[in-house]
Structure 1
Amino acid sequence: MAALSALFRGFIPFSAAIAALALSGCNEHVSPAASTSPAPGAQIVASGYSPRPAAIAITQMEGAPAPLQSQFMAYFNAAAGQQDVALTDSAAARYLVRGYISAFPVDGGARLTCVWDIYDRTNHRAQRLNDEIALRGAAPDPWTLVDSAALSALAQRSASELAAYLSNTPEALAATARNANDAVKNAVAPASPDAPRPQALSYAPAR
């Protein structure tokens, strides 16, 4: 009986410690909006927050003939800047992005497509984005139907969808929350009315 009592005395503090850890986890406030990013394949709607905190590095772009690929990237970089997407190098990026462009024939013309695979810092693919535009005409080589207008339109669409995805990332939501907290802390409290200044005392001459 004494041994059993000692066993329970040793078990109770251990159980209490586990319960305390569980309660501390439950009490930690986590914003529901910041808990997840859009699921792969889901329609992405911009959060309204800036995507800039989720900086990206484009580590690969392939698929198109070199002149068209260079022209597309010039359009894309400009469009990304207009969408407040931060482009940086791999060392400073929060996400690494690989791009693929292709053109293939269809009835009445061709399709120009762009695919972006977005990876986090653990090399896990967080999202795949797909965009395409229709090209009119007929040619044995669909790339001959691609012009500057088509590349610009695809770049604008790709940058817009990428910005929408990045605006929903934990980095973008956390930065917005921090900025909101800083704004509250830095708010100037209403000034209290000035206290009346003390008046100098005057003494009437003694008679």
Structure 2
Amino acid sequence: MSGRLNGLVLGSAFALALAGCQETTSTASRPRVDAPGVPVSVQSISGAPDQVTTNFASLLGEAAAERKMEIVPGDKPARFRVRGYLTAQPTEDGQTALAFVWDVYDASKKRAQRVQGESLGKRGGGGDPWAGIDQTIVARAASDSMDAIATFLVSAPESDTPAADSKKTKTKTRTKTASAETDKPS
């Protein structure tokens, strides 16, 4: 798989994670956002070693279940499809940052949202920044990813269809916050 999981594999991984999910207590100080009833398909996660990607996909499935998100396999109808990228980089203060970027696409395959963020980990071992990424950091990045995606899902307009888009004026505004960057028709 070489650092990339496709929608069918992710759909199966999420289904297993959702089926065997137990409630966990979130240690985050920010409120969790629930996004029930919006079918989402995770199409790919790339950039990380296979072991990190598999672990991240499992934790992402658990985070989605906690937020009551409907994750569907890549070959099933979904209102949104997401593609993610992970990278590990050393920081100036000697820690390691696990950065994530998610592009959320609507039914017409247009990017509706970009979500990005990072979680800081311990100092990396040697020249491999992935050595500084542990389970806690991966879990935090998965949780933060789902919070950001769920926040978008609950605020997304109901009608994200090509017909609805053709009725809108096609000007764009760019909004960037600490956890999300959005391209929205205005």
TM bucket by the smaller chain? Answer: 0.5 to 0.7
What is the alpha-carbon distance in structure 2 between the residues aligned to residue 171 and residue 73 of structure 1?
27
Matched, 1:143 2:126: no
Aligned mates of 1:81, 1:109 — CA distance in 2: 30
| TM-score, structure 1 as length reference | 0.57
Alpha carbons of structure 1 residues 145 and 122: separation in structure 2 relative to 1, 3 Å:
same
Matching residue of 2:61 = 77
5+ residue gaps, structure 2: 1-30, 160-186
CA deviation profile, 1:94-133 (whole Å, cap 9, x unmatched) = 1111011100112212210111100011110000000201
1:101 to 74, 81, 86: 86
Q: CA RMSD in A?
A: 2.1
Question: Which of 122, 131, 139 matches 2:117?
Answer: 131
Shift of 1:165: 0.9
Distance 1:119 1:126 in 2: 5
Structure number with the higher strand fraction is: 2
Q: Any conservation in 1 of the 2:122–2:133 contact (CA below 8 Å)?
A: no
SS of corresponding position for 1:171: coil
1:39-50 residue pairs with structure 2 within 5 A?
A: none
Give 1:138 shift: 4.0
Q: Is the 8 A contact 2:95 2:122 kept in 1?
A: yes
Cα offset, 1:164, TM superposition: 1.0
Say whether the 8 Å CA contact 1:95–1:121 is kept in structure 2.
Answer: yes
**Structure 1 CA distance for aligned equivalents of residues 135 and 65 of structure 2:** 19
Matched-pair identity in %: 29
Partner of 1:66: 50
CA shift at 1:54, angstroms? 2.1
- Aligned pairs, how many? 126
**Partner residue, 1:18:** none
Secondary structure of 1:133's aligned partner:
strand
Aligned-partner Cα distance in 2 for 1:51–1:138: 35
Residue ranges of structure 1 left out of the alignment (5+ in a row) = 1-45, 173-207
Residue 51 of structure 1 corresponds to which residue in structure 2? 35
Assess if the C-alpha contact under 8 Å between 1:53 and 1:171 holds in 2.
no
TM-score, normalising length from structure 2?
A: 0.63
Higher-Rg member (1/2)? 1
SS in 1 for 2:155: coil
Shift of 1:85: 1.1
The one-letter code matched in structure 2 to 1:103 is A
Contact 1:54 1:169 survives alignment (8 Å)? no
Which letter maps to 2:128? Answer: D
* Distance in structure 2 (CA, Å) of the matches to 1:146 and 1:81: 24
Distance 2:134 2:149 in 1: 23
SS at match of 1:64: coil
Look up the equivalent residue of 1:136 and give its one-letter code: K
